[in-house]
A = this chain, B = another copy of it.
Amino acid sequence: MTSLFSSPFSSAVHSHDFGLRSLLDPRFKLWRIESGVARSLTWLEDGTIITLGIWGAGDIVGQALSCVDPYQVECLTKVTATPLSSEQWQPDAALLLSHLQQMEQLAVIRSHRKVDAMMIKLLNWLAKRFGREVEAGNLIDLKLTHQDIADVLGTTRVTVTRILGQFEEQGVIERSLRRIVLRESEAWHYEI
């Protein structure tokens, strides 16, 4: 999948490290994420950010997969990623299918009419994809801001703050800093 190529960077393909909130260099149209978590995003004329997907190790992201403009990939954690030359990359059907299915899952999550239902589905999804089991439940350690969650769900930061507070009171989650522990519950076992 990787090979020598010349532009825009010279010499052999190698992975790059990105800090929190940095953007994957858009001169490369395809990146393979080696570690960490990033989101693909666009924005509307009024500046509203839309999170198109949330991606982790093994996922392929980049403008070459998308037809929306603007398009960016922003790191939600520290990320290591390898640029792929789109001419030389053989699109991998299994990877594209997985990409497609993840977008579909987010579409279903966003379709819930009530924001609290949407949010519990999103937390379950994040826990399954990126979570780590801890004693209290499943740790989502993505340093997501309330605005980030709002950008995924198409709601407002204020609403996210309110509902996370409600979930904490109800014992559905525990929080410290930007880490969320989703406690074992029926909701957690619910399959989307």
User: Interface on A for B, CB 8 Å cutoff?
Assistant: 42, 44, 46, 48, 50, 52, 65-69, 90-94, 96-97, 99-101, 103-108, 110-113, 154, 191-192
Please tell me which one of the listed residues B46, B48, B96, B108 contacts residue A97 in the complex, with CB atoms under 8 A apart.
Answer: B96
A100: chain B residues within 8 A (beta carbon): 65, 96, 99-100, 103
Please tell me which one of the listed residues B46, B92, B103, B113 contacts residue A103 in the complex, with CB atoms under 8 A apart.
Answer: B103
Please tell me which one of the listed residues B46, B101, B108, B154 contacts residue A42 in the complex, with CB atoms under 8 A apart.
Answer: B108
A104 touches B154 (CB 8 A): no
Residue of B nearest to A111 (CB): B50
B113 touches A67 (CB 8 A): no
Stoichiometry (number of copies): 2
Please tell me which one of the listed residues B97, B101, B105, B154 contacts residue A111 in the complex, with CB atoms under 8 A apart.
Answer: B154
- Knowing that A52-B107, A65-B100, A91-B96 touch, tell me 5 more A-B residue pairs with CB under 8 angstroms: A90-B93, A92-B93, A96-B97, A103-B103, A111-B154
B105 touches A104 (CB 8 A): no
Min CB gap A100→B, angstroms: 5
Please tell me which one of the listed residues B52, B104, B154 contacts residue A68 in the complex, with CB atoms under 8 A apart.
Answer: B104
A44: chain B residues within 8 A (beta carbon): 108, 111-112
B104 touches A66 (CB 8 A): yes
Min CB gap A151→B, angstroms: 9
A67 touches B154 (CB 8 A): no
A101: chain B residues within 8 A (beta carbon): 65-67
A111 touches B68 (CB 8 A): no
The distance in angstroms between the C-alpha atoms of A97 and B69, with both chains bound, is 16
The distance in angstroms between the C-alpha atoms of A55 and B48, with both chains bound, is 28
B50 touches A105 (CB 8 A): no
Min CB gap A99→B, angstroms: 6
